[in-house]
Amino acid sequence: MNPGFDQDQPVSSGQPKVHVFLSSESLAEIADKYSLTLAELMAANNLTPASFIFPGQKLIIPTKKQVQIVAEIPLEHVVVPGETLTSIAERYGIKVSVLQEFNGMHAGSILFPGARIRLVGEKPKPVEISKDSRAPKYCLVHGYHKVKPGDQLSRIAAFHGVSTQALLMANDLSWNSVVSPGAKLIVPISHTPYNCPSLVQLSTSAKDIASELVQVGKKLWLSEFGLVIALCLEMQRSGLQAELGSKNLTEDLLVKISELDDKNLLSVRDTLNEIGFANLSEGAALWEPSAWFWLHSIESNNE
């Protein structure tokens, strides 16, 4: 008997099977066991590479006919009179919640004949990871949680809208793990440090000034983190506006940062305190998540 197979489910050729996920196996192994590709198994269960699977979770093992239907799903569907989001979802074997997400809809949305419903989600654009080892790997706004006295892992997960299993896996913890106050946990959210909705977008003029700052900083061999520190201070000091800033002051700032040993750039606040900007360091440090995004955008445009 296969320990991962739910014997209560129908096993006829026309019905899908259900596989109970075990902690000792991978999705690729399950797909191979049932002569499926990994993509077919993930599509049948509405999974993405970022999805977390927990032991005991039931996975649909699609029939060959269902696999063929999924493979033939068009990019969009044109609504005809009498159709509902539920009927469209059933026709293509897609969850209603997934269709709502693809099309920015909610439970009360009304469909009109002729409307185009997206059936396939847009593939996320690959994000190039910064070369600087101090570049954020997770969102600096939502990607971490500092443990407070009385915090429990299940409550932390619920507060951030993720599963407890996902939180445990992201931090290499077990269900019996105890975390101490002050510990910093990774929160496995879906967005990256560069597409967080809370990041501040620069105006055209501010981006031009930021680009010039980055260009000068690179000539002084500043690291990416050094450039981020400079961007944080200039945003706090002048809002990255030419009429409120001074080119000489900006160049002086970049020189001061370049004179520090790169290993001493411990944080935005501490670095600015050390080079004489203690009065602006607290406010400047708050710009760090957005400053990494600005730098990433500037470097992407220059490639």
Query: How far are the Cα atoms of 57, 90, 93, 139, 302 from residue 96, in angstroms, in the given order?
Result: 20, 8, 9, 29, 41
Contacts of 83 by beta carbon, 8 Å cutoff, 6+ apart? 111
Q: Sort strands 58-61 and 17-20 into parallel, antiparallel or unpaired.
A: antiparallel
77's tokens? 């569907």
Please give the chain's pLDDT, 303 residues, in tens.
Answer: 344 444 334 434 455 688 888 877 777 788 888 888 777 777 777 776 556 677 778 888 877 666 555 545 667 778 887 788 888 877 776 778 778 877 777 766 667 777 778 877 654 444 444 566 788 888 888 888 999 998 888 888 888 888 888 888 888 888 888 888 888 898 888 788 888 888 999 888 888 889 988 888 888 888 899 999 999 999 998 888 876 556 667 777 888 888 876 666 778 999 888 888 899 999 999 999 999 999 998 887 765
125 DSSP assignment: P
* Strand, helix or coil for residue 186: strand
- Reported pTM: 0.54
Burial of 100 (0-12, 13-18, 19+ CB in 10 A): middle
What the chain holds in terms of domains, given with CATH numbers, is: 17-69 (3.10.350.10), 73-118 (3.10.350.10), 144-186 (3.10.350), 204-302 (no CATH)
The Cα 112–Cα 201 span in angstroms is 35
100 — phi, psi (to 5°)? -60, -40
- Kindly state the tokens that stand for 97: 């919640």
At 26, which amino acid appears? S
Q: Identify the pLDDT of residue 33.
A: 87
The single-letter code of the amino acid at 197 is P
